[in-house]
Amino acid sequence: MPLLYQDCTFRYGRRTHPVLNGLNLALAPGHTVLLGPNGAGKSTLLSLGAGAFRPGTGRVGLGRLSASGPRDARTYRRKVAWLPQRPGFLPGLTAREHVAYIGWLKGMRERDAWAAAPAAIDRVGLAEKMNDRIKTLSGGQQQRVAIAGALVHEAEVLLLDEPTAGLDPHQRRRFLDLLVSLRGTMHVIVSTHDIGDLDQAFEEVVVLESGRVRFQGPVSLFDSHAAPDCVPGRRLESAYESVLEAAE
């Protein structure tokens, strides 16, 4: 089912300028990357998609399920997992305890969540760290534990906000490999400023600027926006710059 934003407007507090204004966007199942400058609305878009925020006007939904509808919200939040840029962890928990706890929060029975946690942790390549306290893990490992929390309750959609921020090149490579391994099993939507190798992990690109969609399409079409004389290896960066320049 697609993640739908229908005529969505959102503003923070009493600010007169909306972050999103009449946004219409359909994100089909697959791996989608959200690009855009700071303040473009990427984090707000993901927060709305997670049901953490409610639009001032319009609707956010997964197929017929509404993110904020009183009868749909619980089911919706089981189907959609959201990881903000800095996932929170309860102090003192091991990786398994955290993943099982997330499963319980999402509606699993306690014993079922505990039994399912090892398989979810193994999927993210951390089986040997399952009983380690999260505070002892590296930033990249903590990010993978957070994703295991989404896998344990079999969410259909995974929303990731700047998941590679602060990761070293090796950790970033491991993370992208993990995203590739999820193809065909989860609908993944990622916001990032790292453009260079997005063609290896994503199928669709969405560019936001000033709360509006400036581009949506497959990576191959996005690549075609690169300048003819761009430096080899920088085609995607060039395409991004061209899309933003066209929006001015």
Q: Give residue 15's pLDDT band: very low, low, confident or very high (50, 70, 90).
A: low
Shortest CA distance to 34 belongs to which of 125, 158, 172, 170? 158
Query: Backbone dihedral region of 232: left (phi > 0), alpha (psi from -120 to 50 degrees) or beta?
Result: beta
Q: Give the separation between CA 219 and CA 196, rounded to whole angstroms.
A: 12
Q: Give residue 118's pLDDT band: very low, low, confident or very high (50, 70, 90).
A: very high
Tell me the C-alpha to C-alpha distance, in Å, between residue 11 and each of 8, 39, 53, 211. Answer: 10, 12, 10, 10
Backbone φ and ψ for 209, nearest 5 degrees, come out as: -150, 125
**Degrees to nearest 5, angle at CA 58 with 56 and 62:** 120
- In this model, does residue 92 exceed pLDDT 80? yes
Instruction: Please give the average per-residue pLDDT across 113-140, as a whole number.
Output: 94
- In this model, does residue 196 exceed pLDDT 80? no
Q: Where are the domains of the chain?
A: 3-87+155-247
- In this model, does residue 117 exceed pLDDT 90? yes
Fold category of 3-87+155-247 in CATH: Rossmann fold (3.40.50)
What would the pLDDT profile of 138-184 be if each residue is shown by its tens digit? 888 998 899 899 889 888 999 999 888 777 888 888 888 888 988 88
What would the pLDDT profile of 69-78 be if each residue is shown by its tens digit? 888 888 898 8
Instruction: Please give the average per-residue pLDDT across 183-210, as a whole number.
Output: 89
